[in-house]
Amino acid sequence: MLGVRCILLCLHRTAQYRYPIGLERVLTRSLSRTPDSSRAALKLRTRLGVTLLVGAGLVGAWWWVEREKQQRRRRQRVEQLHAVALGQGTFSLLDHTGHRRTKQDFLGRWVLLYFGFTHCPDICPDELDKLSAVVSALDRDPALPRLQPLFITVDPERDDVAALARYVRDFHPRLVGLTGTPEEVQHAGRDFRVYASAGPKDEDGDYMVDHSVLLYLVSPDGLFLDYYNRTKSPEQIADSIRNHIRNHVPLEIGAVLCDGWVGELAQLDRQNRAHQLESASVLKRSVARCVLSSVRHMESTLSSRPAALSTSTE
């Protein structure tokens, strides 16, 4: 809206623009040799032409700046995500209903992810309560997309499908619990650099699992964006996620499904740069045709109403 207002203001000022003295003298001499009606028509056409050209130039400049800004933010995100190297892989796990779920199933959705285990006495329930509060807070804003909560166990030995099904019922209704073989779970955790280590078993065969305590935000592209530790309140996390959603620049979803996604994005970026030059040329030709059509239309209108123009100039 700010860009549109600036363009309208510039067009208004252009319509009131006084030409430089030299140019005004030339126009005055030319106009003095023509009848009043033709003089008024020429003067009006000149102002209209200048106004249209300046307006078209401002629109083109605004479009170019916005495209460049978006491309620059896209390149910065690619570089940042490549440097972090977090959450760039894939996973294949069983959900709490027994269905096989992969990373592709959650593409296109914002995901808030937590790693824990169902036998955790206090920390995991507290963090999942916090996760649920964040999701519920964002659900109250109809302008925001729905956030998908995920819970991946770090204790596949005890957390089977049935255990997860009982556990997730205590939290947000959209919470999806995921488990799998020890290898599958370790692969998913390693992708997010999750630390998990089972402690010694007691006489009842029970044990604790020491693990990292973080909430991970994953974008609709399937890429890690941010993390939140235990010191962050639900309100702080919700505000952070709102900002991420509002400032999000989508990447090519298909590019994140393989190890070479950064290279593919770089190639797409080079292609976009080439398309920008072509698009700018097309825009210039379209603006020129629009200006020419408008001037011709004005000439036709003015030539059919000479009497009205001469009356207005008097």
Binding residues for Cu cation: 120, 124, 211
Of 28, 12, 176, give the one whose Cα is nearest residue 94: 176
Q: How far apart are CA 265 and CA 260, in angstroms?
A: 9
Of 274, 256, 272, give the one whose Cα is nearest residue 264: 256
Helix (H) or strand (E) holding 148: strand 147-153
User: Looking at this protein, which amino acid is placed at residue 291?
Assistant: V
- List Cα–Cα distances, 93 to 151, 273, 287, in angstroms: 11, 39, 54
Residues 6+ apart with CB under 8 A from 106: 148, 150, 218, 222
Q: How far apart are CA 174 and CA 107, in angstroms?
A: 16
| Ramachandran class of 99: left when φ > 0, alpha when ψ lies in -120 to 50, beta otherwise | beta
Show binding-site residues: 120, 124, 211
